[in-house]
Structures are given as structure tokens and as C-alpha cells.
């Protein structure tokens, strides 16, 4: 069965805009879990633009929550993540000037440092994932790095679908990469820019086991409520 992971970063964005304590990301994580999400994703960015250290610590230490902690390869962030001990970590590229993550990791360039980081988390029995582009070369490198999972950056597909451009080549590319990853024993996740339509398209890719969705869910919940949007996605990916 396919799983839904909900990224709650932008609940923290909303809280930080007012500089107060509400809405609380921890309470959001509990609510999301109660209403059918398999896991919670949070991104502890170097600039702490949304989730902060205390958020991450409280959420990761709460019994019953499966937490996927997204982090960069920054050594200080890695140390914090090792101390926080989430269920999973996903290494992502990070650029302080970007509004959101703009692509997958450059595995070829950063292979050595990524290998060391993966080893540190495996020694702590923390499941590891890499946020990568839909690239056969990157799938092969991910296998060399001995990661448990990959999360395919679906932003390109999402943009093509939203702009009503031809997306079949990109969708087929994701399928090919997912097939290879599965063959190599790597679990496949998908995330970035996903909405109802792109998620439904990707449910046809049998090898994708988990969808991580954040911005669209939080945005739609302003109009229709968080519970309803989670249930809508659960129906799509069942």
C-alpha cells in the first residue's frame, strides 16, 4: 500500500509570520497523524526559516510519530540531527537564496561527504534517504552510497502539468528511474510540487511507495480544512 507523508513546514511559516506560538507544529503533527498520514516531514534549514531546533526536538521525541527529517549536508545540522534521532533523514540540497528546494542533490560532486553522512546515520540505526533528480546516473550513485530510500524530485513534472505542457517524457523518466531503484533494492518516494493531478499520475508508478506533500496540503487546508485535504489524498494514493 502506498503511503502519505505530510510536510508541515509551512505551519511553522505561518506561526513565524506573527512571531508567536500559534499554530504549533507539534500539535499539527499529532493532528495529521490522527487523520491518516503515515509520517511527518519537517525540514530543519540552516537559516531556520520555518521549523526551528525546538520544533524538531519536540516532534522527533513524540511517541507515535514517524518523522522524516530533511537536512542539508552542513556539518552542524548533521550533528543536530544525530542528537535529535528522527526515524528517517533525507539529505537535500540547500541554497539560502532559494524560496523552495529547486532540484535534487548533486551526488557526483558531493559523493564523498554524503557517504560519510550516510554512514553516521546508519550507525545510529536511522533510515536514510536522498532527494535526487529523476536520473539513472543518480540512481546508480545512490545504490553505491548504500541508502535505504530515494525521494525523486517531482518539481519538473509538476510544473509541466500545471502549465499544460507535454509531460509524458518526464513521467516516463520517473518510471524508468523508479524501476531501476526498485531493482537495486532502494525504496522509492516522490515529492515536490505535488497536487491532486500530479499525485494521481504518479500513483500509476507501482514502485513509488510514498508521497511527501506539503505546500499544496497546507495551502488547500486554508479553504477546506486540513482533515479533508489529507483524506482527499488518501483516496488518491490508496
Question: pLDDT class for 94, splitting at 50, 70, 90?
Answer: confident
Which range has the worst mean pLDDT, 45-59, 87-101, 150-164?
Answer: 87-101
Mean pLDDT in residue range 55-73:
97
pLDDT (mean) for 29-37: 98
Phi-psi category of residue 146: left, alpha or beta, with phi > 0 → left and psi -120 to 50 → alpha:
left
Name the pLDDT band for 238 (thresholds 50, 70, 90). Answer: confident
Q: Between helices 136-144 and 107-123, what is the axis angle to 10°?
A: 40
CA dihedral sign, ordered 119, 124, 125, 131: negative
pLDDT of residue 54: 97
Measure the CA–CA gap between 203 and 194, rounded to whole angstroms. Answer: 12
pLDDT at residue 99 tops 90: no
Q: Is the pLDDT at 68 greater than 60, yes or no?
A: yes
Label residue 102 by pLDDT band (50, 70, 90): low
Q: Is the pLDDT of residue 152 over 60?
A: yes
E strand map for the chain: 3-7, 39-43, 67-71, 88-91, 127-132, 149-153, 187-191, 208-213
* pLDDT over threshold 60, residue 100: no
**pLDDT above 90: residue 1:** no
Residue 19 burial (10 A CB sphere; 0-12, 13-18, 19+) = exposed
Mean pLDDT value across the chain: 95
Tell me the percentage of the chain whose pLDDT exceeds 70. Answer: 97
Domains of the chain as residue ranges with CATH: 3-237 (3.20.20.70)
Angle, CA of 56, 59 and 61, to the nearest 5°? 100
Q: What is the pLDDT of residues 204-236, one digit of tens each?
A: 999 999 999 999 999 999 999 999 999 999 999
Which one from 10, 38, 50, 70 is the annotated catalytic residue?
70
Catalytic pick among 43, 50, 153, 189: 43
What's residue 98's pLDDT? Answer: 53
pLDDT of residue 103: 79
Catalytic residue, candidates 10, 38, 153, 192: 192
The closest of 157, 101, 156 to 131, measured between CA atoms, is 101
Tell me, yes or no, if 70 is annotated catalytic: yes
- As a whole-number percent, the residues of the chain with pLDDT over 90 amount to 93
Amino acid at each position: 500500500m502506498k503511503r502519505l507523508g505530510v510536510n508541515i513546514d509551512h505551519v511553522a511559516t505561518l506561526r513565524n509570520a506573527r512571531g508567536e506560538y500559534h499554530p504549533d507544529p507539534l500539535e499539527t503533527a499529532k493532528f495529521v497523524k490522527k487523520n491518516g498520514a503515515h509520517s511527518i516531514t519537517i525540514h530543519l534549514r540552516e537559516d531556520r526559516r520555518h521549523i526551528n531546533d525546538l520544533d524538531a526536538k519536540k516532534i522527533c521525541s513524540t511517541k507515535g510519530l514517524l518523522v522524516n527529517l530533511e537536512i542539508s549536508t552542513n556539518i552542524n545540522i548533521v550533528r543536530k540531527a544525530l542528537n535529535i534521532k528522527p526515524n528517517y533523514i533525507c539529505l537535500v540540497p540547500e541554497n539560502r537564496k532559494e524560496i523552495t528546494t529547486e532540484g535534487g542533490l548533486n551526488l557526483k560532486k558531493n559523493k564523498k561527504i554524503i557517504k560519510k553522512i550516510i554512514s553516521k546515520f546508519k550507525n545510529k540505526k536511522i533510515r536514510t534517504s536522498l532527494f535526487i533528480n529523476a536520473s539513472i546516473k543518480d540512481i546508480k550513485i545512490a545504490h553505491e552510497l548504500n541508502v535505504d530510500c530515494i525521494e525523486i524530485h517531482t518539481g519538473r513534472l509538476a510544473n509541466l502539468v500545471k502549465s499544460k505542457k507535454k509531460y509524458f517524457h518526464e513521467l516516463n523518466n520517473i518510471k524508468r528511474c523508479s524501476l531501476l531503484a526498485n531493482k537495486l533494492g532502494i525504496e522509492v518516494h516522490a515529492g515536490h510540487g505535488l497536487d491532486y493531478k500530479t499525485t494521481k499520475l504518479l500513483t500509476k508508478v507501482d514502485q513509488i511507495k510514498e508521497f511527501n506533500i506539503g505546500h499544496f496540503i497546507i495551502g488547500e487546508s486554508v479553504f477546506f480544512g486540513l482533515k479533508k485535504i489529507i483524506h482527499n489524498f488518501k483516496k488518491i494514493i490508496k
